[in-house]
Structure 1
Amino acid sequence: MKIGEAAISHLVEIAYNTGMSSGPMIAFFNSFGLNNPVVHMLDSKRRFANQAWRELNGSSELPEAINQILSPHHWPQDDERQRQIDNLNKALRIDGWVIEDNLGRLEVTPRSGLGGDAALRRLKDHGDLINHENLISRIRAIEKSVEASPADAIGAAKELIEAITKDIIEKAGQEPAKRASPSELVKHSLKCLDLASDKISDRARGVAAIRSTLTALSNIAHQLDELRGLYGSGHGRSSTSRGLEPRHARLAVGAASSLCLFLVETFEKHDLSK
């Protein structure tokens, strides 16, 4: 996660205004991987905070550091804490980020339309019949990692497919096969929605195109599973696997979220038509 000068300036003032003395301030930043020597008295806490935030800038630790520096522990007055959050948010938006309050925990995510995907945003508006809490938690995991950790985003996109397909299968009164692959789960969920390719009538208009499209949906899950195995966060891979960039994550997330949106919307329509 990378932020600009305005956001850094706000964070410097936030750190200074917490009232932390020199030792605790040094310990705070060192808890995020910095290695500053502990001294009794800093020459300038503002100068130190400025250097520390710059060292954290671009790292995966930065979002958590922002969450903790704005915690109620440092800002017990709700109004003042919210004012600090709002001011920082204005600066972060310039850089393409936004702070969201998730049950008291602050999460820094890409602004809509920048690091995320339109289908993901539409998915948030669905899911009344799907496990909505699970759906939202998966989407948040993707949004947090698309820019900061592309490999983790690929893994989260694959898990989103698994979560939604399993929920559809279970709500159809069936059990997902144990150790089923993502593509197998997609095929099973399509069958639950009466969309299995072998169920399409040979007399249906455009039958070949329809069957090819349905097969392609399963292929999305299969290819994403392979990509996740090669580069994603599973199978012992590093969350910063070489060769992966945010553009790769956006491709994977875009494909997965479009598939999931189609499944969720079809499920809702299918359920309401009964």
Structure 2
Amino acid sequence: MSSKFSPFVISALVDAITGGPGIGNQQPIGSYRSGPKIEQFFLDCGLDMQLGGNSRVPATTDFLRQIARQPGGKGDTDITRIIEKVSDPREYLGEPSKAMAVREHLNAALAADSLAVVVVNGKATIVERQASNGIIEPFIAKVTTIDFDTVQTEIARAIASLDNDPEDAVTAACSLIEAVCRSIIVELELSFPAKKDIEGLTRAIQEPLGLSPGRSDFPPEIEIDIRQTLSGLISVAKGIGALRTHGGDAHGREKGFLRIDARIARLAVNAASSFSLFIIETWERKEHRSLPKHTEK
């Protein structure tokens, strides 16, 4: 069996692909697929699966088990591709609630394997759960309600690079904050600052969003705390920008020299996501924006 995916994940995947046995009053998980549609589904994944007169569910189960047993990591690669295919929102354009149901069903099985399916920039992808939990998941859900295309691109890049290329993940974390600030500046119809680096962009949105530590209208009992917190916002952004300069790959890197590890990259991406989520929510509150309700996770 696959070294990455447990038998419980394979079972949940069977449910998601077939829609279940289709008997009684049981509602399908996602879309019910007939035998020919199941064969076409696997063909779209680059896999030749033929029922050969067998029942849909048992044949799909046997085929997935065969795939998972492939050596050399090929089984994990193929199962990953299948999960991302069946979780892709574009499979359920007419019924988006089914896409959400499929991902919830698969994520319940993937949780014990420390994995999760998330949708970023309109595409489903499997990530390590420590990379998708905490602040990143609500941030992803938030940006999918707003037409901030560059923001979605950068968070997708950051998640994908966390473990395999931490230096690129740090660069993406910095670009993420810059993309959010640029988007907010455009939405508020402000002029861009002369210095368009991360520090200049974050400072440009502080006063318009009421986040300047120099404000004089704070309640006296919490004035010092709020000033310290708001000052910390710029410190976080500056720190990520400096880390990008010294530890990221934006300015090139020496061959064979890894300056940071996944731990630091994860810290940078989580911090950037937390900062960006706060900025977006502050903008929403200031503008009294009624953003579209996001129906998928």
The normalised TM-score by structure 2 is: 0.58
Whether contact under 8 Å (1:166, 1:189) holds in the other structure is no
State the shift of 1:240 in Å: 8.1
Unaligned ranges ≥5, structure 1: 21-45, 73-84
Amino acid at match of 2:228: S
Q: Do residues 123 (structure 1) and 139 (structure 2) align?
A: yes
Query: For residues 122 and 217 of structure 2, what CA distance do their matches in structure 1 show?
Result: 55
Q: Give the one of 253, 270, 274 matched to 2:269.
A: 253
Amino acid at match of 1:208: I
Q: Do residues 226 (structure 1) and 242 (structure 2) align?
A: yes
Q: Do residues 18 (structure 1) and 39 (structure 2) align?
A: no
RMSD between superposed Cα atoms in Å: 4.6
Partner deviation per Cα, 1:159-196 (whole Å, 9 max, x = no partner): 11001111111211112224422122111111111222
For 2:258, the equivalent position in structure 1 comes to 242
User: What is the count of residue pairs matched by the alignment?
Assistant: 227
Query: For residues 107 and 219 of structure 2, what CA distance do their matches in structure 1 show?
Result: 53
Identity %: 25
SS at match of 1:192: coil
For 2:73, the equivalent position in structure 1 comes to 53
Partner deviation per Cα, 1:42-61 (whole Å, 9 max, x = no partner): xxxx9xx944427x98xxxx
Assess, with a 3 A threshold, how the Cα gap between structure 1 residues 243 and 185 changes in structure 2: closer, same or farther: same
Q: Give the one of 121, 128, 141 matched to 1:110.
A: 128
Amino acid at match of 2:216: S
For 1:76, the equivalent position in structure 2 comes to none
SS at match of 2:253: coil
Query: For residues 193 and 5 of structure 1, what CA distance do their matches in structure 2 show?
Result: 47
Whether contact under 8 Å (1:183, 1:220) holds in the other structure is no
For 2:216, the equivalent position in structure 1 comes to 201
Query: For residues 3 and 109 of structure 1, what CA distance do their matches in structure 2 show?
Result: 12
Q: Do residues 159 (structure 1) and 159 (structure 2) align?
A: no
Query: For residues 69 and 208 of structure 1, what CA distance do their matches in structure 2 show?
Result: 49
State the shift of 1:218 in Å: 0.6
Assess, with a 3 A threshold, how the Cα gap between structure 1 residues 202 and 91 changes in structure 2: closer, same or farther: closer
Whether contact under 8 Å (1:162, 1:185) holds in the other structure is yes
The normalised TM-score by structure 1 is: 0.62
SS at match of 1:242: coil
Whether contact under 8 Å (2:182, 2:201) holds in the other structure is yes
Q: Do residues 96 (structure 1) and 114 (structure 2) align?
A: yes
Q: Do residues 188 (structure 1) and 200 (structure 2) align?
A: no
Partner deviation per Cα, 1:84-120 (whole Å, 9 max, x = no partner): x9x9989865532345577896633223xx2234222
Query: For residues 19 and 252 of structure 1, what CA distance do their matches in structure 2 show?
Result: 42
Query: For residues 239 and 228 of structure 1, what CA distance do their matches in structure 2 show?
Result: 17
Amino acid at match of 1:53: G
Amino acid at match of 1:135: V
Matches within 5 A, 1:26-37: none
SS at match of 1:118: coil
State the shift of 1:250 in Å: 1.9
Whether contact under 8 Å (1:89, 1:98) holds in the other structure is yes
Query: For residues 85 and 147 of structure 2, what CA distance do their matches in structure 1 show?
Result: 30
Whether contact under 8 Å (1:6, 1:91) holds in the other structure is no
